[in-house]
Amino acid sequence: MFWFNRKRLGSMKLTMIGLMVMALFLSACGNNNPGNASNAGTEPTTAPTAETTEAPAAPKTLTDAMGHEVTIPANPQRVLGSYLEDALVTLGVTPVAQWSVPNGVQDYLTTELKDVPTISYDLPLEAVTSFAPDLILIPSESSVQNGIYDQLNKIAPTYVIGDELNQDWRKSLLKIGEILNKTPEAEKAIKDYEDKAADAKEKLKGAIGEESVAILWLVQKNFYIVDETRSSGAVLYTDLGVTLPNLVTEIPVGTRATWNPISLEKLSELTADHIILVNSDKTEGSEILDSAIWKGIPAVKAGNVHEMSSTSSWLYSGANAGGKIIDDVLKNLVK
């Protein structure tokens, strides 16, 4: 606002300049309220809002399961997380290479990891170097013993998730989310999974009630039965509330493994109403499935054997794997 000195009102030149400036000022005020000429010269009804921008990501130091203080890059672009691919793709991260063994890869992630090259499960140093990672994530302490950690850490910052977290895919996913600045994505993925499991649990309750289901894995002519702690067993028995079969409950809790070996003769005592068979023995094991003992199992006699491919997600853990297991369960057990 301009104030004019009364003593100089006689100056025509100054008066004209003042009038011109005032006109410009009033015009600018009017532009704050377009279409409403009556508001010209008044303060705008809404104060302009300053744009807010998120602070750029910065490097951070986190302590891993082995006590290493690891400096995580601000925004990792080339992450290597062998056997942690389920968590990575759940968070929208494509790793630079994917875990593999001589027999193949995690086939249930074929779509998500299309065109991603493979790296051997034991992480040969030359191969790791060739992928030029800027961050390496390791699932277990046992994977980096005898100086291997130090060698990997020379290639890129290396963070060990550790068995304690890695045995629970939810905790592992949250930790990886923290490392990669994707905690909201991790939390949402867990919530989406829990919602899906809750819905499936209700459908299963209505379809099979208290009927029990056994999960068997046939590989190299041997059967294994899963308990409720890991992989598909955790999904079926813990998340979906399906009744455990007798042969699992008979195994002392302290001696149970994720997959427990069980003889064909012992299987003859299986009283489960349904069997989920993960068949990795299409050729060698075919004679076992033709045996009188197998055919005499109540669920087999009743035609309640639901076979899953060895390339399915039933041998794995994670939000992605669990979601696909739930889809298979509903398809086979809910009619």
Domains of the chain: 1-52 (no CATH), 60-181 (3.40.50.1980), 207-333 (3.40.50.1980)
Q: How high is the mean pLDDT of the chain?
A: 87
Residue type, 113: L
Dump pLDDT digits (tens) for 120-152.
Answer: 999 999 999 999 999 999 999 999 999 999 999
Decide if pLDDT at 51 tops 80: no
13: pLDDT confidence band, cut at 50, 70 and 90? very low
Q: Which of 56-65, 182-191, 298-307 has the lowest mean pLDDT?
A: 56-65
pLDDT in the model for residue 147 = 96
Q: What is the mean pLDDT of residues 31-44?
A: 39
Residue 319 and residue 114 in contact, taking contact as beta carbons nearer than 8 Å:
no
Decide if pLDDT at 178 tops 90: yes
140 closest CA partner among 172, 163, 120, 123: 163
Q: Tell me how far CA of residue 314 lies from CA of 237, 317, 324, 328, 329, in angstroms.
A: 13, 8, 8, 9, 10
Percent of the chain at pLDDT exceeding 90: 76
54: pLDDT confidence band, cut at 50, 70 and 90? low
Q: Tell which wins on pLDDT, 277 or 281.
A: 277
Q: What is the mean pLDDT of residues 283-297?
A: 89
Decide if pLDDT at 39 tops 70: no
pLDDT in the model for residue 53 = 55
How many whole angstroms separate alpha carbon 130 and alpha carbon 328? 38
